[in-house]
Structure 1
């Protein structure tokens, strides 16, 4: 069985996740939990050409032994406040910072802090 991590793209007709990707390794789907990120998980965006790195962890608190996946990502922040719709394209208002995003197997989420979680991340 091929255990190389990969980015998975949704069908273009699925509006909710259009322009996003998920991470899989073998038969497992991964997710990005707030507890593992240095920034708000809602601000994460992955590069379509990011290198996915496998980390074998023996002692992840609340989980135990597991395999994590790290990816180079961007934390994209838009100005706070105001209306959710603007006449200026959002990418002209946003600022971005390079960060490392960490994913855990989906079946192991919510064992540590009960914070936010995402399976699908937008592409940068």
Structure 2
């Protein structure tokens, strides 16, 4: 069994890896500097956070979980979730507004175009502080 070594040159060849590397370095630098806010993170006020949680319904969270398994179209998400495609499309639009997914329009061989749903992060972390009034 041979051991494969990944080098920086491998990242330079792949634009997705290159972008991931760039963002990772920015986050690492901010952590090293003990920055108050990390790049590519979102901070909510208490009102915005409450609104965010109210909009992240169980069905939308399920779509987010399913989308994290691979490059799925809205139609494929609807099938996997056993839901109507138009309802899934509306929920994906809301997830996009919340900043949780991106929608990529790609050519669907022989059938026009389709929308691929891509989560913007692998995890969602919630850190809440409740200050005494």
TM-score, normalization: structure 2? 0.25
TM-score, normalization: structure 1? 0.27
